Chains A and B, each alone.
Chain A
Protein backbone atom coordinates (compact mmCIF):
# COMPACT_ATOMS: atom_id res chain seq x y z
CA UNK A 1 0.00 0.00 0.00
CA UNK A 2 1.46 3.31 -0.97
CA UNK A 3 0.51 5.85 1.63
CA UNK A 4 1.63 9.43 1.94
CA UNK A 5 3.81 9.89 5.00
CA UNK A 6 3.50 13.00 7.11
CA UNK A 7 5.86 13.75 9.93
CA UNK A 8 5.04 16.23 12.67
CA UNK A 9 7.95 17.33 14.76
CA UNK A 10 8.63 20.14 17.17
CA UNK A 11 8.62 23.44 15.50
CA UNK A 12 11.91 25.20 15.95
CA UNK A 13 11.94 28.97 16.05
CA UNK A 14 11.73 30.37 12.57
CA UNK A 15 9.73 29.52 9.54
CA UNK A 16 8.12 26.30 8.32
CA UNK A 17 9.72 24.73 5.26
CA UNK A 18 8.81 27.32 2.65
CA UNK A 19 8.83 24.98 -0.34
CA UNK A 20 6.35 22.61 1.20
CA UNK A 21 4.29 25.49 2.57
CA UNK A 22 4.10 27.12 -0.83
CA UNK A 23 3.12 23.85 -2.47
CA UNK A 24 0.33 23.17 -0.04
CA UNK A 25 -0.85 26.77 -0.44
CA UNK A 26 -0.88 26.43 -4.22
CA UNK A 27 -2.83 23.17 -4.03
CA UNK A 28 -5.52 25.02 -2.10
CA UNK A 29 -5.93 27.91 -4.52
CA UNK A 30 -9.49 26.79 -5.25
CA UNK A 31 -10.27 27.43 -1.60
CA UNK A 32 -9.26 31.06 -2.00
CA UNK A 33 -11.40 31.35 -5.13
CA UNK A 34 -14.44 29.65 -3.64
CA UNK A 35 -14.12 31.46 -0.33
CA UNK A 36 -14.05 34.89 -1.97
CA UNK A 37 -16.93 33.89 -4.20
CA UNK A 38 -19.17 32.76 -1.38
CA UNK A 39 -18.17 35.73 0.76
CA UNK A 40 -19.17 38.11 -2.03
CA UNK A 41 -22.36 36.16 -2.63
CA UNK A 42 -23.17 36.37 1.04
CA UNK A 43 -22.75 40.15 0.90
CA UNK A 44 -25.10 40.07 -2.12
CA UNK A 45 -22.55 41.34 -4.60
CA UNK A 46 -23.71 38.75 -7.09
CA UNK A 47 -27.01 40.53 -7.58
CA UNK A 48 -27.65 43.57 -9.77
CA UNK A 49 -28.37 45.89 -6.86
CA UNK A 50 -25.42 44.55 -4.93
CA UNK A 51 -23.11 45.47 -7.77
CA UNK A 52 -24.86 48.79 -8.17
CA UNK A 53 -24.10 49.46 -4.53
CA UNK A 54 -20.44 48.62 -5.12
CA UNK A 55 -20.37 51.41 -7.68
CA UNK A 56 -22.73 53.77 -5.91
CA UNK A 57 -20.93 53.64 -2.58
CA UNK A 58 -17.57 55.02 -3.79
CA UNK A 59 -19.39 57.51 -6.05
CA UNK A 60 -21.32 58.89 -3.10
CA UNK A 61 -18.14 58.98 -1.05
CA UNK A 62 -16.30 60.92 -3.70
CA UNK A 63 -19.27 63.31 -4.01
CA UNK A 64 -19.21 63.95 -0.27
CA UNK A 65 -15.48 64.61 -0.24
CA UNK A 66 -15.80 66.83 -3.29
CA UNK A 67 -18.33 69.00 -1.42
CA UNK A 68 -15.82 69.17 1.42
CA UNK A 69 -13.08 70.35 -0.93
CA UNK A 70 -15.32 73.01 -2.47
CA UNK A 71 -16.36 74.30 0.94
CA UNK A 72 -12.88 74.51 2.45
CA UNK A 73 -11.87 76.37 -0.68
CA UNK A 74 -9.85 74.12 -2.91
CA UNK A 75 -10.00 74.26 -6.66
CA UNK A 76 -13.12 72.58 -7.89
CA UNK A 77 -12.66 71.79 -11.55
CA UNK A 78 -13.20 68.49 -13.29
CA UNK A 79 -9.52 67.50 -13.07
CA UNK A 80 -9.76 67.84 -9.31
CA UNK A 81 -12.78 65.60 -9.19
CA UNK A 82 -11.07 63.02 -11.40
CA UNK A 83 -8.05 63.05 -9.08
CA UNK A 84 -10.29 62.61 -6.07
CA UNK A 85 -12.23 59.66 -7.50
CA UNK A 86 -9.19 57.87 -8.90
CA UNK A 87 -7.22 58.15 -5.67
CA UNK A 88 -10.18 57.40 -3.44
CA UNK A 89 -11.05 54.21 -5.34
CA UNK A 90 -7.49 52.92 -5.11
CA UNK A 91 -7.33 53.90 -1.45
CA UNK A 92 -10.44 51.79 -0.83
CA UNK A 93 -8.69 48.76 -2.32
CA UNK A 94 -6.11 49.05 0.46
CA UNK A 95 -8.65 50.00 3.14
CA UNK A 96 -10.92 47.08 2.21
CA UNK A 97 -8.12 44.56 2.40
CA UNK A 98 -7.22 45.94 5.82
CA UNK A 99 -10.79 45.74 7.14
CA UNK A 100 -11.31 42.34 5.53
CA UNK A 101 -7.93 41.06 6.65
CA UNK A 102 -8.09 42.13 10.27
CA UNK A 103 -10.66 39.54 11.26
CA UNK A 104 -9.80 36.92 8.66
CA UNK A 105 -7.84 34.73 11.07
CA UNK A 106 -9.97 35.22 14.17
CA UNK A 107 -13.16 34.59 12.19
CA UNK A 108 -11.69 31.40 10.77
CA UNK A 109 -11.44 29.97 14.28
CA UNK A 110 -13.47 26.84 13.66
CA UNK A 111 -11.52 25.99 10.56
CA UNK A 112 -8.17 26.65 12.25
CA UNK A 113 -9.04 24.48 15.25
CA UNK A 114 -10.15 21.55 13.13
CA UNK A 115 -8.18 21.50 9.90
CA UNK A 116 -4.52 21.61 9.01
CA UNK A 117 -3.94 24.11 6.21
CA UNK A 118 -1.65 27.08 5.51
CA UNK A 119 -3.28 29.81 7.57
CA UNK A 120 -2.03 32.52 5.24
CA UNK A 121 -4.88 31.52 2.91
CA UNK A 122 -7.27 33.53 5.05
CA UNK A 123 -5.71 37.02 4.66
CA UNK A 124 -5.02 36.24 0.99
CA UNK A 125 -8.74 35.59 0.52
CA UNK A 126 -9.46 38.94 2.16
CA UNK A 127 -7.25 40.62 -0.43
CA UNK A 128 -8.97 38.80 -3.29
CA UNK A 129 -12.34 40.00 -2.03
CA UNK A 130 -11.03 43.59 -1.87
CA UNK A 131 -9.80 43.28 -5.47
CA UNK A 132 -13.20 42.08 -6.65
CA UNK A 133 -14.80 45.07 -4.96
CA UNK A 134 -12.26 47.37 -6.62
CA UNK A 135 -12.78 46.25 -10.22
CA UNK A 136 -16.21 47.83 -10.82
CA UNK A 137 -14.97 51.16 -9.47
CA UNK A 138 -12.17 51.09 -12.03
CA UNK A 139 -14.81 50.94 -14.77
CA UNK A 140 -16.68 53.83 -13.15
CA UNK A 141 -13.52 55.90 -13.17
CA UNK A 142 -12.89 55.25 -16.85
CA UNK A 143 -16.46 56.39 -17.61
CA UNK A 144 -15.99 59.56 -15.53
CA UNK A 145 -12.73 60.28 -17.31
CA UNK A 146 -14.37 59.84 -20.71
CA UNK A 147 -17.27 62.13 -19.74
CA UNK A 148 -14.83 64.87 -18.70
CA UNK A 149 -13.11 64.51 -22.05
CA UNK A 150 -9.78 63.83 -20.37
CA UNK A 151 -7.33 62.29 -22.88
CA UNK A 152 -6.41 58.61 -22.81
CA UNK A 153 -2.68 58.19 -23.45
CA UNK A 154 -0.29 55.30 -23.96
CA UNK A 155 1.41 56.30 -20.68
CA UNK A 156 -1.71 55.12 -18.90
CA UNK A 157 -0.36 51.58 -19.29
CA UNK A 158 1.82 52.47 -16.30
CA UNK A 159 -1.35 51.87 -14.32
CA UNK A 160 -0.62 48.13 -14.46
CA UNK A 161 2.67 48.17 -12.52
CA UNK A 162 1.28 50.79 -10.14
CA UNK A 163 -1.74 48.58 -9.47
CA UNK A 164 0.47 45.52 -8.98
CA UNK A 165 2.56 47.34 -6.38
CA UNK A 166 -0.63 48.48 -4.65
CA UNK A 167 -1.96 44.91 -4.52
CA UNK A 168 1.37 43.72 -3.15
CA UNK A 169 1.22 46.42 -0.48
CA UNK A 170 -2.40 45.57 0.35
CA UNK A 171 -1.45 41.88 0.70
CA UNK A 172 1.38 42.69 3.11
CA UNK A 173 -0.91 44.89 5.18
CA UNK A 174 -3.70 42.27 5.29
CA UNK A 175 -1.27 39.54 6.42
CA UNK A 176 0.29 41.74 9.08
CA UNK A 177 -2.93 43.03 10.56
CA UNK A 178 -4.64 39.61 10.60
CA UNK A 179 -1.77 38.25 12.69
CA UNK A 180 -1.63 41.24 15.04
CA UNK A 181 -5.36 40.88 15.66
CA UNK A 182 -4.86 37.39 17.11
CA UNK A 183 -2.80 38.88 19.92
CA UNK A 184 -4.64 42.18 20.32
CA UNK A 185 -8.29 41.75 19.46
CA UNK A 186 -9.11 45.45 19.80
CA UNK A 187 -6.99 46.30 16.75
CA UNK A 188 -10.18 45.72 14.78
CA UNK A 189 -11.85 48.57 16.70
CA UNK A 190 -8.86 50.88 16.20
CA UNK A 191 -8.80 50.18 12.50
CA UNK A 192 -11.38 52.80 11.43
CA UNK A 193 -9.23 55.50 13.06
CA UNK A 194 -6.15 54.12 11.37
CA UNK A 195 -7.70 54.09 7.89
CA UNK A 196 -9.19 57.54 8.42
CA UNK A 197 -5.76 58.89 9.39
CA UNK A 198 -4.17 57.22 6.37
CA UNK A 199 -6.84 58.79 4.17
CA UNK A 200 -5.96 62.30 5.35
CA UNK A 201 -2.22 61.67 5.20
CA UNK A 202 -2.45 60.51 1.59
CA UNK A 203 -2.72 62.73 -1.48
CA UNK A 204 -6.42 62.11 -2.05
CA UNK A 205 -8.31 65.20 -0.91
CA UNK A 206 -5.33 67.29 -2.03
CA UNK A 207 -2.67 66.81 -4.68
CA UNK A 208 0.81 65.74 -3.70
CA UNK A 209 2.32 68.82 -5.32
CA UNK A 210 0.05 71.12 -3.29
CA UNK A 211 1.51 69.91 -0.01
CA UNK A 212 3.20 72.60 2.14
CA UNK A 213 6.99 72.00 2.27
CA UNK A 214 6.87 71.76 6.06
CA UNK A 215 4.48 68.82 5.74
CA UNK A 216 6.57 67.00 3.13
CA UNK A 217 7.74 64.63 5.83
CA UNK A 218 4.50 62.60 5.59
CA UNK A 219 5.55 61.77 2.06
CA UNK A 220 8.37 59.71 3.56
CA UNK A 221 6.48 58.04 6.37
CA UNK A 222 3.20 57.16 4.67
CA UNK A 223 3.55 53.86 2.76
CA UNK A 224 0.56 54.79 0.60
CA UNK A 225 1.80 58.22 -0.44
CA UNK A 226 4.16 57.40 -3.34
CA UNK A 227 1.82 54.85 -4.88
CA UNK A 228 -1.28 57.08 -4.73
CA UNK A 229 0.69 59.97 -6.20
CA UNK A 230 1.85 57.76 -9.09
CA UNK A 231 -1.68 56.47 -9.63
CA UNK A 232 -3.09 59.98 -9.97
CA UNK A 233 -0.34 61.01 -12.39
CA UNK A 234 -0.98 57.99 -14.56
CA UNK A 235 -4.76 57.82 -14.44
CA UNK A 236 -5.72 61.50 -14.29
CA UNK A 237 -2.94 63.32 -16.10
CA UNK A 238 -1.99 60.44 -18.36
CA UNK A 239 1.71 60.91 -17.61
CA UNK A 240 4.39 58.39 -16.72
CA UNK A 241 4.96 58.24 -12.96
CA UNK A 242 8.18 59.35 -11.33
CA UNK A 243 10.57 56.46 -11.06
CA UNK A 244 11.56 57.47 -7.53
CA UNK A 245 7.91 57.26 -6.39
CA UNK A 246 7.50 53.84 -7.95
CA UNK A 247 10.65 52.53 -6.30
CA UNK A 248 9.69 54.05 -2.97
CA UNK A 249 6.25 52.43 -3.20
CA UNK A 250 7.77 49.09 -4.14
CA UNK A 251 10.23 49.32 -1.25
CA UNK A 252 7.38 49.94 1.22
CA UNK A 253 5.34 47.08 -0.22
CA UNK A 254 8.27 44.63 -0.16
CA UNK A 255 9.27 45.63 3.35
CA UNK A 256 5.78 45.28 4.80
CA UNK A 257 5.16 42.03 2.93
CA UNK A 258 8.32 40.31 4.14
CA UNK A 259 8.16 41.52 7.72
CA UNK A 260 4.44 40.75 7.97
CA UNK A 261 4.77 37.34 6.33
CA UNK A 262 7.71 36.39 8.54
CA UNK A 263 5.73 37.42 11.60
CA UNK A 264 2.67 35.48 10.38
CA UNK A 265 4.47 32.28 9.37
CA UNK A 266 6.54 32.09 12.52
CA UNK A 267 3.40 32.49 14.64
CA UNK A 268 0.74 30.66 12.70
CA UNK A 269 1.26 27.30 14.40
CA UNK A 270 0.36 28.97 17.65
CA UNK A 271 -2.95 30.28 16.33
CA UNK A 272 -4.86 27.12 17.27
CA UNK A 273 -4.12 27.64 20.97
CA UNK A 274 -4.49 31.40 20.88
CA UNK A 275 -7.96 31.54 19.42
Chain B
Protein backbone atom coordinates (compact mmCIF):
# COMPACT_ATOMS: atom_id res chain seq x y z
CA UNK B 1 0.00 0.00 0.00
CA UNK B 2 1.37 3.37 -0.96
CA UNK B 3 0.58 6.28 1.22
CA UNK B 4 -0.57 8.51 -1.55
CA UNK B 5 -4.01 9.89 -0.93
CA UNK B 6 -6.68 9.11 -3.51
CA UNK B 7 -9.78 10.54 -1.92
CA UNK B 8 -10.05 12.74 1.12
CA UNK B 9 -13.49 13.20 2.63
CA UNK B 10 -13.67 15.78 5.41
CA UNK B 11 -16.78 16.43 7.47
CA UNK B 12 -19.07 15.71 4.57
CA UNK B 13 -22.78 16.02 5.10
CA UNK B 14 -25.50 15.70 2.51
CA UNK B 15 -29.02 16.93 2.94
CA UNK B 16 -31.41 17.11 0.08
CA UNK B 17 -35.00 17.85 -0.69
CA UNK B 18 -36.87 15.36 -2.73
CA UNK B 19 -40.44 15.35 -3.90
CA UNK B 20 -42.87 12.95 -2.26
CA UNK B 21 -44.76 12.34 -5.48
CA UNK B 22 -42.85 10.14 -7.83
CA UNK B 23 -43.68 12.50 -10.61
CA UNK B 24 -44.35 16.03 -9.41
CA UNK B 25 -46.92 17.73 -11.59
CA UNK B 26 -48.46 21.14 -11.92
CA UNK B 27 -51.84 19.49 -11.51
CA UNK B 28 -51.04 17.98 -8.12
CA UNK B 29 -49.47 21.27 -7.04
CA UNK B 30 -52.61 23.16 -8.03
CA UNK B 31 -54.89 20.65 -6.35
CA UNK B 32 -53.05 20.80 -3.06
CA UNK B 33 -52.96 24.62 -3.02
CA UNK B 34 -54.05 26.00 0.32
CA UNK B 35 -54.28 22.62 1.99
CA UNK B 36 -50.87 22.87 3.53
CA UNK B 37 -49.98 19.42 2.26
CA UNK B 38 -46.28 18.77 2.16
CA UNK B 39 -44.91 18.15 -1.29
CA UNK B 40 -41.27 17.63 -0.47
CA UNK B 41 -39.33 15.73 2.10
CA UNK B 42 -35.92 16.60 3.45
CA UNK B 43 -33.53 13.68 3.53
CA UNK B 44 -30.38 13.68 5.62
CA UNK B 45 -28.32 11.15 3.71
CA UNK B 46 -24.83 11.75 5.11
CA UNK B 47 -23.73 13.15 8.43
CA UNK B 48 -20.21 14.36 9.20
CA UNK B 49 -18.33 11.68 7.30
CA UNK B 50 -14.54 11.67 7.54
CA UNK B 51 -12.80 9.15 5.35
CA UNK B 52 -9.45 8.91 3.63
CA UNK B 53 -8.83 6.47 0.83
CA UNK B 54 -5.26 5.82 -0.22
CA UNK B 55 -3.92 4.41 -3.45
CA UNK B 56 -3.49 0.67 -3.13
CA UNK B 57 -6.49 0.36 -0.88
CA UNK B 58 -9.53 -1.72 -1.69
CA UNK B 59 -12.23 -0.24 0.45
CA UNK B 60 -15.43 -2.15 1.06
CA UNK B 61 -18.42 -0.04 2.01
CA UNK B 62 -21.09 -1.92 3.90
CA UNK B 63 -24.32 -1.02 5.63
CA UNK B 64 -28.04 -1.64 5.56
CA UNK B 65 -30.30 -0.23 2.87
CA UNK B 66 -30.58 3.53 3.15
CA UNK B 67 -27.31 3.85 5.05
CA UNK B 68 -26.02 6.43 2.59
CA UNK B 69 -23.59 4.22 0.71
CA UNK B 70 -24.73 5.22 -2.76
CA UNK B 71 -25.04 8.87 -1.78
CA UNK B 72 -21.44 8.86 -0.56
CA UNK B 73 -20.31 7.26 -3.82
CA UNK B 74 -22.20 9.87 -5.85
CA UNK B 75 -20.49 12.60 -3.83
CA UNK B 76 -17.05 11.13 -4.53
CA UNK B 77 -17.90 10.86 -8.22
CA UNK B 78 -18.96 14.51 -8.31
CA UNK B 79 -22.55 13.72 -9.24
CA UNK B 80 -24.00 15.20 -6.05
CA UNK B 81 -22.34 18.19 -4.41
CA UNK B 82 -22.08 17.74 -0.62
CA UNK B 83 -24.06 20.10 1.61
CA UNK B 84 -21.21 20.41 4.10
CA UNK B 85 -17.56 19.55 4.20
CA UNK B 86 -15.07 19.00 1.45
CA UNK B 87 -14.11 16.15 -0.82
CA UNK B 88 -10.79 16.06 -2.63
CA UNK B 89 -10.27 13.52 -5.35
CA UNK B 90 -6.75 12.96 -6.71
CA UNK B 91 -7.12 11.16 -10.01
CA UNK B 92 -9.69 10.05 -12.53
CA UNK B 93 -12.82 8.37 -11.26
CA UNK B 94 -14.93 5.82 -13.04
CA UNK B 95 -18.19 4.91 -11.47
CA UNK B 96 -20.15 1.78 -11.78
CA UNK B 97 -23.15 2.71 -9.76
CA UNK B 98 -26.09 0.43 -9.31
CA UNK B 99 -27.98 1.67 -12.35
CA UNK B 100 -25.15 1.21 -14.78
CA UNK B 101 -24.74 2.62 -18.25
CA UNK B 102 -27.31 2.86 -20.93
CA UNK B 103 -29.48 5.88 -20.55
CA UNK B 104 -31.35 5.52 -23.79
CA UNK B 105 -32.94 2.08 -24.00
CA UNK B 106 -33.97 2.49 -27.63
CA UNK B 107 -30.35 2.85 -28.73
CA UNK B 108 -27.97 -0.04 -29.17
CA UNK B 109 -25.50 -1.15 -26.54
CA UNK B 110 -22.71 0.19 -28.74
CA UNK B 111 -24.24 3.68 -28.97
CA UNK B 112 -24.88 3.72 -25.25
CA UNK B 113 -21.30 2.79 -24.43
CA UNK B 114 -20.01 5.56 -26.67
CA UNK B 115 -22.47 8.14 -25.36
CA UNK B 116 -21.85 7.19 -21.74
CA UNK B 117 -18.11 7.47 -22.25
CA UNK B 118 -18.35 10.79 -24.07
CA UNK B 119 -20.60 12.18 -21.34
CA UNK B 120 -18.04 11.09 -18.76
CA UNK B 121 -15.46 13.17 -20.62
CA UNK B 122 -13.58 10.53 -22.60
CA UNK B 123 -12.61 11.11 -26.19
CA UNK B 124 -14.07 9.15 -29.06
CA UNK B 125 -10.73 7.53 -29.84
CA UNK B 126 -10.25 6.46 -26.24
CA UNK B 127 -13.59 4.69 -26.25
CA UNK B 128 -13.05 3.19 -29.68
CA UNK B 129 -9.69 1.87 -28.49
CA UNK B 130 -11.33 0.11 -25.58
CA UNK B 131 -14.53 -0.90 -27.27
CA UNK B 132 -13.52 -4.32 -28.56
CA UNK B 133 -12.30 -5.33 -25.15
CA UNK B 134 -15.50 -4.07 -23.55
CA UNK B 135 -17.67 -5.99 -26.01
CA UNK B 136 -15.60 -9.13 -25.55
CA UNK B 137 -15.61 -8.92 -21.77
CA UNK B 138 -19.36 -8.43 -21.63
CA UNK B 139 -19.90 -11.61 -23.70
CA UNK B 140 -22.87 -9.96 -25.36
CA UNK B 141 -21.90 -11.05 -28.87
CA UNK B 142 -24.18 -9.69 -31.56
CA UNK B 143 -26.53 -8.26 -28.95
CA UNK B 144 -24.17 -5.30 -28.59
CA UNK B 145 -25.83 -3.79 -31.66
CA UNK B 146 -29.38 -4.49 -30.52
CA UNK B 147 -31.41 -1.81 -28.73
CA UNK B 148 -30.84 -1.95 -24.98
CA UNK B 149 -34.53 -2.28 -24.26
CA UNK B 150 -34.22 -5.85 -25.56
CA UNK B 151 -31.56 -6.64 -22.92
CA UNK B 152 -32.20 -8.67 -19.82
CA UNK B 153 -31.18 -7.10 -16.53
CA UNK B 154 -28.18 -9.43 -16.42
CA UNK B 155 -27.02 -8.24 -19.83
CA UNK B 156 -27.41 -4.65 -18.69
CA UNK B 157 -25.25 -5.25 -15.66
CA UNK B 158 -22.65 -7.16 -17.65
CA UNK B 159 -22.22 -4.33 -20.10
CA UNK B 160 -22.04 -1.77 -17.29
CA UNK B 161 -19.40 -3.75 -15.45
CA UNK B 162 -17.36 -4.26 -18.60
CA UNK B 163 -17.25 -0.54 -19.33
CA UNK B 164 -16.08 0.36 -15.86
CA UNK B 165 -13.57 -2.47 -15.58
CA UNK B 166 -11.97 -2.11 -18.99
CA UNK B 167 -11.44 1.64 -18.86
CA UNK B 168 -8.87 1.31 -16.01
CA UNK B 169 -9.40 4.52 -14.04
CA UNK B 170 -7.25 5.63 -11.10
CA UNK B 171 -10.21 5.27 -8.79
CA UNK B 172 -12.93 2.75 -9.52
CA UNK B 173 -16.24 2.77 -7.69
CA UNK B 174 -18.36 -0.35 -7.96
CA UNK B 175 -21.79 -0.04 -6.43
CA UNK B 176 -23.57 -3.35 -5.90
CA UNK B 177 -22.89 -4.46 -9.41
CA UNK B 178 -20.91 -7.60 -8.75
CA UNK B 179 -23.95 -9.53 -7.64
CA UNK B 180 -25.76 -9.39 -10.96
CA UNK B 181 -25.22 -11.82 -13.74
CA UNK B 182 -24.88 -15.55 -13.58
CA UNK B 183 -22.38 -17.44 -11.46
CA UNK B 184 -19.85 -17.59 -14.27
CA UNK B 185 -19.88 -13.88 -14.96
CA UNK B 186 -19.88 -13.14 -11.24
CA UNK B 187 -16.69 -15.08 -10.85
CA UNK B 188 -15.18 -13.49 -13.91
CA UNK B 189 -15.95 -10.00 -12.66
CA UNK B 190 -14.66 -10.81 -9.21
CA UNK B 191 -11.41 -12.01 -10.74
CA UNK B 192 -11.28 -8.84 -12.75
CA UNK B 193 -11.63 -6.75 -9.60
CA UNK B 194 -8.81 -8.72 -8.01
CA UNK B 195 -6.71 -8.12 -11.10
CA UNK B 196 -7.41 -4.41 -10.91
CA UNK B 197 -6.04 -4.23 -7.37
CA UNK B 198 -2.73 -2.51 -7.65
CA UNK B 199 -0.63 0.03 -5.85
CA UNK B 200 -1.53 2.87 -8.16
CA UNK B 201 -5.25 2.33 -8.04
CA UNK B 202 -7.94 2.73 -5.41
CA UNK B 203 -11.02 0.56 -5.50
CA UNK B 204 -14.23 1.25 -3.65
CA UNK B 205 -16.62 -1.64 -3.48
CA UNK B 206 -20.17 -1.22 -2.22
CA UNK B 207 -21.64 -4.60 -1.50
CA UNK B 208 -24.00 -6.64 0.61
CA UNK B 209 -22.07 -9.79 -0.13
CA UNK B 210 -19.93 -10.10 2.98
CA UNK B 211 -17.91 -13.02 1.71
CA UNK B 212 -16.84 -11.02 -1.33
CA UNK B 213 -15.89 -8.07 0.83
CA UNK B 214 -13.86 -10.28 3.18
CA UNK B 215 -11.99 -11.84 0.26
CA UNK B 216 -11.36 -8.76 -1.84
CA UNK B 217 -11.01 -5.76 0.41
CA UNK B 218 -8.16 -4.74 2.68
CA UNK B 219 -10.18 -2.08 4.42
CA UNK B 220 -13.86 -1.76 5.29
CA UNK B 221 -16.09 1.17 6.22
CA UNK B 222 -19.47 0.56 7.83
CA UNK B 223 -22.12 3.22 7.34
CA UNK B 224 -25.38 3.42 9.19
CA UNK B 225 -28.03 6.10 8.76
CA UNK B 226 -25.56 8.49 7.17
CA UNK B 227 -22.88 8.10 9.85
CA UNK B 228 -19.58 6.28 9.70
CA UNK B 229 -19.81 3.65 12.45
CA UNK B 230 -16.58 1.78 12.08
CA UNK B 231 -13.60 1.66 9.80
CA UNK B 232 -10.77 -0.79 9.78
CA UNK B 233 -9.66 -4.35 9.21
CA UNK B 234 -12.30 -6.23 7.15
CA UNK B 235 -12.96 -9.20 9.41
CA UNK B 236 -13.24 -7.03 12.48
CA UNK B 237 -15.70 -4.54 10.96
CA UNK B 238 -17.78 -7.17 9.23
CA UNK B 239 -18.05 -9.21 12.42
CA UNK B 240 -19.24 -6.12 14.28
CA UNK B 241 -21.70 -5.34 11.52
CA UNK B 242 -23.09 -8.84 11.49
CA UNK B 243 -23.44 -8.84 15.24
CA UNK B 244 -25.28 -5.56 14.93
CA UNK B 245 -27.66 -7.15 12.50
CA UNK B 246 -28.33 -9.93 15.06
CA UNK B 247 -27.76 -12.38 12.35
CA UNK B 248 -24.42 -13.65 13.45
CA UNK B 249 -22.59 -15.56 10.80
CA UNK B 250 -25.67 -16.90 9.15
CA UNK B 251 -25.62 -18.03 5.57
CA UNK B 252 -28.13 -15.41 4.51
CA UNK B 253 -25.67 -12.55 4.72
CA UNK B 254 -22.64 -14.37 3.44
CA UNK B 255 -24.39 -15.33 0.30
CA UNK B 256 -23.83 -13.33 -2.83
CA UNK B 257 -27.26 -11.89 -3.29
Contact = CB atoms under 8 A, between A and B. Distances in A.
Given A27-B121, A111-B103, A116 B26 contact: no
Contacts of B200: 1
Given A5-B89, A110-B102, A270-B16, A31 B81 contact: no
Contacts of B17: 270, 273
B181 interface: no
Contacts of B80: 269, 272-273
A34 B118 contact: yes
A2 to B, nearest CB: 10
B119 A28 contact: yes
Interface in A93-118: 107-117
Interface residues on A, range: 35 or more
A140 interface: no
Given A1-B200, A38-B107, A9 B86 contact: yes
A273 B18 contact: yes
Contact of A30 (B4, B81, B88, B118): B118
Interface string A184-195: 111100100000
* SS class, residues of chain A in contact with chain B: helix
A77 interface: no
A156 B101 CA distance: 47
Contacts of B248: none
B26 A114 contact: no
Contact of B26 (A4, A27, A115, A186): A186
Interface in A5-25: 5-11, 24
Contacts of A111: 103, 115-116, 119
B90 A3 contact: yes
A203 to B, nearest CB: 30
Interface in B7-30: 16-19, 23-27, 29
Interface in A25-59: 27-28, 30-31, 34-35, 38-39, 42
A206 B114 CA distance: 46
A241 to B, nearest CB: 37
Contact of B99 (A114, A183, A273): A114
A114 B102 CA distance: 10
A115 B88 contact: no
A212 interface: no
A185 B25 contact: yes
Interface string B72-87: 0011111111111111
B176 to A, nearest CB: 13
Interface in B164-181: 170
A113 B106 CA distance: 18
Contacts of A4: 90-92
Contacts of A187: 26
Contacts of A35: 115, 118
B48 interface: no
B95 A115 contact: yes
A116 B101 contact: no
Interface in A154-203: 183-187, 190
B256 interface: no
Contact of B88 (A7, A186, A269): A7
B114 A272 contact: no
A10 B84 contact: yes
Given A38-B111, A186-B26, A187-B26, A10 B103 contact: no
B64 interface: no
Interface string A242-274: 000000000000000000000000000110111
A114 B100 CA distance: 7
B121 A186 contact: no
Contact of A6 (B78, B79, B84, B103): B78
A186 B119 contact: no
A121 interface: yes
B25 A186 contact: yes
Interface of A: 1, 3-11, 24, 27-28, 30-31, 34-35, 38-39, 42, 107-117, 121, 183-187, 190, 269-270, 272-274
6 contacts: A8-B75, A24-B121, A38-B107, A108-B103, A110-B102, A274-B18
